[in-house]
Chains A and B, each alone.
Chain A
């Protein structure tokens, strides 16, 4: 190590020797606020806790389309359909569905002090000395079905702020009643014990959640809700040991930032051993991790090289070091120097990293290829769209005129240009609400949006501006002039954000509307007020995006379901366009519970056509994720739904060290030149001073 120390590049941002360990070097751009799975719901937080917690199911890493597989279960949950009386019945007559989860027996928790009873009764002095839980002796225990039930019980406590409680109440039998009871009890406890204290949820029971034995859990759902399985792959359903809850509830823990929110405890492949969200976080392999091996099966189209590690034990690496990197500029620079293993591609770095090959495919520039950098890409299960507020008198409503206006705008907003200017081509212009990879998505020409595009010579062609102008005239605004005022029609766009990039986007947007003679007024505000406006249905045109919670068309189409209207629900819906079409709503209710199949596809086709015609959104684009990674980084694959993929990755640390040394040779000669110049200036000053002194002495001598 001492010898290696001499060769460390001067600009190595890590402690000595870090790059030589078989760990992944990653960055996080914002401190994660919550690591408690009951409330954490943002991608950066999930990126960390998904490596630590294990919900019952997971997405198969190398499979397309997205497929669920058991994680802590011996097999996929069994489903039984029950009638009102609790007797087994067929799917279409079901009043309830019952999911039975069979746990595997070899799953154990990571080492943690909570599993030793004395640690749950620490003195105040001992707690005051703690900075991390791992300063205490640790224990472990096997995972039981009770832990899964405990997690669902925690979800029910209102004060724990679960973001999905209201959604789950509609599905899990008895959750609503339980939640009301337990939340009240919690409030009472808080009043009597101001210092907090352990709120033990074990005595409480949820009607629909039944622990049969240590390895078996039954969950009863209202009606038929096949999407429930997807929820079971999310961290909300990750097991929580009551001992951990009790441990962190000791008075004084919270004040030391010791809580489930900061020091998670799970059964997964990693444990969080360092947590300074203002600076860095470190994951180490969990020594108690159950047997799991690298997958040996992959769908077609997956590179065979990804199967090299087949059957090897997971995790394939020695941990992860996350460093806080708030700005994209240093992140990119450090990636190029080799100090991060992988990086996304910001639009500013894009054209130095990526070029389109002669066949129109994305490829890397020679600079990148020289460095041995490789890339991954894939269309995300996400849609970005421009919404029209359908309760707005000018642009909303299902009338012929307003519809024509919206269709005209849909044509004029040239998404291909947007993608090329602002995303460098990292996106696909959307034809409807469903992104690729989601059941019901159909590539053009079948899935074409006929109101905006034509299919010519095997290619998508955007309809011409003349057609848009004709529609505008039909809407009553010939040449964009509003007959009521005699001036150009004024529309309002609710903008969020203030960066120079946003400014360029807004300028572009105004240009698009100007093509029709419409004057688009930008109302820029902060995110808060933007949300407020949306909730009150005050906006007119806005840009919004939706990221799939789970790969089911219901998760996208419900954004347009009338009963989810943000105004109709008093601010709680997700249908920000307030679109409500009775026919669409009727179909949605039917489609919701159907299994994927021809019948469902037929319904979705009709629904998509309805919204294409009504145009409550300008279907913007499906962003394409693009990640670059270094040559020493192996087994990377873009599974957009899976969050717990860290365990599959492997790095060749020796190669990393070697390359970093090559790339970061400090420029020593410049340093010597600089130092010499400084010394020269100092010497010059001294020389000048001497000369001056002598001169003065001479003068004074002369005058005496």
Chain B
């Protein structure tokens, strides 16, 4: 088990190098460091001296992949790519192009993101599973069919409509919640309740269908019939046996998502003005802040890989039959 984990971790390194290479190549194909300097220095009266100074201050004055002026190993190490990648691997994200410390910013913005994503995720999971169980309870009846049609309908509507509609109805017309914004601490729920509910609602259609199929498969197995024959009530059979046995597939589908919750939701956060990592990323894309985008891509990749490894662990924990090669 431990050996397997170590191997997985080692395997993550080439992937992260690959990720780095891809983003790096992409970004320097679009924006030369000169472009970046001009954006960040502002529109009024920029001189070549100022651009050179900025590039030097941010370490963008080195060649990209290969340094012809250096000697020996330095031809490869004294380059923009090498220097920046090495720092990333130690989780030192450095300064953003506008001069703030990215690490500090990420730490600060992680919490609002999590405060939005985690409740959405957990509540969504609970609602989806409950409703799916209810649908299975009434399987093949009119209730079930209505639920299915409703699920397809819900799935077919773009999430943007839910967000716009929800904001207009609950904030503008009914005055129930603030339109957007955020407060840290105990007061946060007033700002989060609407985006969380909208997030859950938007994911309802797909979730309901997914878990319903999953539970239906379980329901048709023999042990459920036996349980039922023993006189257990339908609801008990479902919540005891079916749910427990359905846990494994739920787990594998769900665990991989957990680490990426840190990254936040791009659309939700920017619609509701929540100062998390999602809106951080969007701002970086729009402001072409290479340093931040690179850091976020790297972070996203790390979290994704962490999710995969976690899934494996969860699998082993939930089902002892699984062995690792």
Chain A residues with CB under 8 Å of chain B are 9-16, 31, 33-34, 41-42, 158-159, 161, 163-167, 254-257, 261-262, 276-279, 323-327, 330, 333-334, 337, 527-529, 531-532, 571-572, 574, 664-667, 670-671, 685, 688-689, 692-693, 696
Contacts and interface: CB of A to CB of B under 8 A. Distances in A.
B134 A685 contact: yes
A159 B183 CA distance: 37
Identify the 3 closest CB pairs spanning chains A and B, nearest first.
Answer: A13-B178, A13-B181, A330-B180
Contact of B175 (A11, A166, A531, A532): A11
A262 B280 CA distance: 18
B126 interface: no
Interface string B230-247: 000111000000000000
B174 to A, nearest CB: 4
B222 interface: no
B53 A161 contact: yes
B31 A528 contact: yes
Contacts of A278: 105, 108-109, 275, 280
B275 A693 contact: no
B41 interface: yes
Contacts of B191: 13
A614 B209 CA distance: 69
B176 A671 contact: yes
B119 to A, nearest CB: 18
Nearest to A670: B174
Contact of B46 (A12, A257, A572): A572
B288 interface: yes
Interface residues of B, number: 61
B181 A531 contact: no
A572 B45 contact: yes
B179 A163 contact: no
Contacts of A10: 175-177, 190
A364 to B, nearest CB: 21
B233 A693 contact: yes
B182 A257 contact: no
Contact of A689 (B103, B173, B234, B275): B234
Contacts of A11: 171, 175-179, 190
15 contacts: A13-B179, A41-B44, A158-B50, A166-B45, A278-B109, A326-B270, A327-B273, A330-B180, A337-B175, A571-B48, A572-B45, A688-B138, A688-B143, A689-B137, A692-B234
A689 B173 CA distance: 37
B273 A325 contact: yes
Contact of A161 (B41, B179, B235): B41
B288 to A, nearest CB: 7
A31 B273 CA distance: 13
Interface in B270-301: 270-271, 273, 275, 279-280, 283, 288
A276 B275 CA distance: 10
The binding surface of chain B is classed by DSSP as helix
B179 A256 contact: no
B49 interface: yes
A527 B100 CA distance: 23
A664 B175 contact: yes
A164 B50 CA distance: 10
Interface of B: 31, 35, 38-50, 53-54, 56-57, 95, 98-101, 103-105, 108-109, 134, 137-138, 141, 143, 171-183, 187, 190-191, 233-235, 270-271, 273, 275, 279-280, 283, 288
Contacts of B56: 159
B38 A528 contact: yes
B239 to A, nearest CB: 12
B45 A667 contact: no
A688 B138 CA distance: 9
A326 B187 contact: no
Nearest to A527: B39
Contacts of A670: 174
Contacts of B172: 333
B167 to A, nearest CB: 8
A167 B45 contact: yes
A161 B54 contact: yes
A369 B191 CA distance: 30
A216 to B, nearest CB: 31
B234 A693 contact: yes
Given A528-B288, A531-B43, A667 B175 contact: yes
Given A326-B273, A667-B173, A334 B179 contact: yes
A279 B272 CA distance: 12
B41 A689 contact: no
Contacts of A161: 41, 50, 53-54, 57
B175 A163 contact: no
Contacts of B38: 528, 531
Contact of A666 (B41, B105, B174, B183): B174
Nearest to A42: B42
A254 B174 contact: no
Contacts of A13: 178-181, 183, 191
Given A161-B53, A323-B181, A324-B273, A333 B45 contact: no
A392 to B, nearest CB: 22
A667 B172 CA distance: 11
A102 B115 CA distance: 55
Contacts of A165: 50
Given A159-B53, A161-B53, A257-B101, A333 B179 contact: yes
Nearest to B134: A685
B8 to A, nearest CB: 32
Given A165-B50, A323-B181, A333-B172, 13 more contacts: A16-B187, A161-B57, A163-B45, A166-B47, A255-B101, A257-B105, A276-B108, A278-B105, A325-B181, A529-B35, A665-B175, A667-B174, A670-B174
B273 A158 contact: no
Nearest to B50: A161
A12 B183 CA distance: 11
A528 B108 contact: no
Contacts of B41: 161, 163
A531 B35 CA distance: 9
A577 B48 CA distance: 20
A158 B99 CA distance: 16
B187 A15 contact: yes
A666 B99 contact: no
Given A256-B104, A574-B45, A279 B178 contact: no
B36 to A, nearest CB: 8
Contacts of B279: 326
B165 to A, nearest CB: 14
A166 B174 CA distance: 56
Nearest to A336: B172
B101 A254 contact: yes
Given A33-B40, A689-B138, A689-B234, A572 B47 contact: yes
Among B38, B50, B235, chain A packs the most CB atoms within 10 A around the CB of: B50
A166 B138 CA distance: 78
